[in-house]
Structure 1
């Protein structure tokens, strides 16, 4: 499904602090949204921060993008530890004012204008809203904290955010500045995000469920990965930070019946600690560290060698890597937590392991890896189910939903 809308009917102005291939998942998602929306609404405009100019305008060659420049105010906010939390609201205020000016300059007679703040995805971040045009926020997700088992590893700030999250949301409903809500909020975090927004006094009628991120059509046009015979090879990929659970994936290998092999693809501050853990556990012959693929296409092409992917993440609000693996037919093994919990159907399109105890996690992951490795029929059923699920996440499907919602505003 690839809907088209006459340019005279609708002008959408997207806002995101970062639009980039190089600045993390949220920035990549904002870039995908811009590209996909322009397939059906070529006149879509984008507003982002000036730090993205070199990549967006020069390297990627995207037009119709406006940039919020730094001023002495923003620099003062950034340099102040006390005021730094106001930096995103400041950008939001500047970006909405710029969007209103762009709408006045570029909207044709009779055009409906929608201002869509794509990022940040937090349900608690204060937003400046336009009073002249309808406002859309989201996909809103966030509100993810470590499972209780790992909260001793939380930073002080993360612990405070977790403890104060809902009390502050309840207080927001009594603050005049926050009483007015957006006309539409796209909710991607399921019940955890919805409850947070309702606690803040957001009108239930403005909340609409959607996916956090779509899947490129090109992925689903590739041949699905098929699974035959025994395959002991699995992959774990992503930035190597504690909450991605790389150490959990490595520790699980000690408990497998079969000599499961794991390729770790990624860079990050946990790399040396993971190398040391492999030495400590005597897994040198079963674990390879493959650094990172400079081209995303090369990473995707490598998936055909594996029986499944492993991502025991503690804090991912979504899990784009899980979506990509499922779209290609690579069964995922994840924790029953956060974003993957909303993506994977346990026992059908992959496996979810309860994060109740360290022993339960490592033994549970090990059992899943053994089962997938030696049972090609199971892997094939999960591969088919995973791809079928991913079809509902295609960007054209997501855009069709959003366009229908834009029109109703």
Structure 2
């Protein structure tokens, strides 16, 4: 008797998918959100090379410089210019751009989508849960990663500007009012939530469907960073680094103050520029810290900054209102244990005592002394630093951009199937 060969299964064809991304800025020159939007576009085009991008015409020069194709620009109109010049109505520019961008995306979908192709419109930025967005009635809508809803901890609210104080106090009432906005016909079919419970509460107050919400990371980590050798820790090392724009909410002065409370002669390199630079220089002099604090203007290339991390035991960022913390992700990916506040984005990235330390922002004095204690612990204990370094790399592996994008595309396909 002859065995009958088992037939080879016919592979299931992949659903043709056209994703149209929307972001006000896609650039290396316009801050973190613009950079993140650019990374998403580039990473999305690896598995989905026909992905299109809609952005504002102010990005035209940057689009040409970066040699990006498939990017379509929303042009300013007399209405947008009038809103801009009015100053008091500038808050309407976000909804205006969203309305124009979605209409352009719908026209692009008609022009580019072949028969059988499923189209999704993904508004990547802005990441605020409060910003009103226009939604397509013809194609499924994706929003996010949505984050935001982060304000100063209570001990620092005396430093808030009037506008920041009003935004904090009116955040939830405004979200309740959003339920009755005239152009809010329905919620988005998929909302990528990067701010955890604080963002979910905000979205729920605005009437968004909890079934549409899926947790994700705010930003992925580039492959090149995770492919670098992890920093290994040996012996006593009192050197730490703080880097980024030197503004009040980054908490640079808190780190300088903490050095006056350490048992060891901890050394701190502050890399960056900004309005807090002179204040921190004066503070270091007042506390007689001498050579323990070094101010490094900046590195011409980000690659050079990353290469310098090999010399340090850890990084410190006691930020008061970062919704994510890309620098924290970078530190974890490289194996540099971070010390941050148990607040905002870092508290979603760091496992306290596992891959870094979180300090309770109960009072300024508690923060300063808490940072000092963690600096001493890490500097003196190479075993602790090495365990945290290994755990940081493991955590960051889940943030590789290809993994993040693959998870999003799986959600896209599920949504497209449901919409069929």
Instruction: Report whether the alignment pairs 1:366 with 2:381.
Output: no
Q: Which of 20, 32, 55 is the aligned partner of 1:25?
A: 32
Moved over 4 A (4+): 5-8
Instruction: Report whether the alignment pairs 1:100 with 2:97.
Output: no
Instruction: Report whether the alignment pairs 1:165 with 2:146.
Output: no
Deviation at 1:370, TM superposition (A): 0.6
Calculate the TM-score normalised by the size of structure 2.
Answer: 0.94
Instruction: Report whether the alignment pairs 1:54 with 2:57.
Output: no
Which residue is 1:150 aligned to?
A: 156
1:73 is paired with a residue of what secondary structure? helix
| Contact 2:134-2:183 at 8 Å conserved across structures | no
**C-alpha root-mean-square deviation of aligned residues, in Å?**
1.3
| Contact 2:343-2:361 at 8 Å conserved across structures | yes
**Separation (CA, whole Å) in 2 of partners of 1:55 and 1:239:** 22
Which residue is 1:282 aligned to?
A: 288
Deviation at 1:99, TM superposition (A): 0.6
| Contact 1:335-1:354 at 8 Å conserved across structures | yes
370-379 or 178-187, which deviates more: 178-187
- Write the deviation string for residues 30-65 of structure 1: whole angstroms up to 9, x where unpaired: 1110111111111111111111111122x2111111
Instruction: Report whether the alignment pairs 1:133 with 2:130.
Output: no
Deviation at 1:177, TM superposition (A): 2.7
Q: Which of 29, 39, 52 is the aligned partner of 2:46?
A: 39
Which residue is 1:293 aligned to?
A: 299
Which residue is 2:6 aligned to?
A: none
Q: Would the alpha carbon gap of residues 7 and 102 (structure 1) be closer, same or farther in structure 2, given more than 3 Å must change?
A: farther
Structure of larger gyration radius: 2
Structure 2 gap segments, 5+ residues each: 1-11, 416-420
Q: Would the alpha carbon gap of residues 315 and 261 (structure 1) be closer, same or farther in structure 2, given more than 3 Å must change?
A: same
Which residue is 2:235 aligned to?
A: 229
Instruction: Report whether the alignment pairs 1:256 with 2:257.
Output: no
Deviation at 1:6, TM superposition (A): 8.4
Deviation at 1:106, TM superposition (A): 0.9
Q: Which of 66, 69, 75 is the aligned partner of 1:63?
A: 69
**Separation (CA, whole Å) in 2 of partners of 1:315 and 1:26:** 15
Q: How many residues align?
A: 404
**Separation (CA, whole Å) in 2 of partners of 1:63 and 1:296:** 25
**Separation (CA, whole Å) in 2 of partners of 1:14 and 1:337:** 30
**Separation (CA, whole Å) in 2 of partners of 1:143 and 1:293:** 32
329-338 or 173-182, which deviates more: 173-182
Calculate the TM-score normalised by the size of structure 1.
Answer: 0.97
Deviation at 1:286, TM superposition (A): 0.9
| Contact 1:233-1:261 at 8 Å conserved across structures | yes
**Separation (CA, whole Å) in 2 of partners of 1:68 and 1:201:** 29
Deviation at 1:8, TM superposition (A): 7.0
Deviation at 1:108, TM superposition (A): 1.2
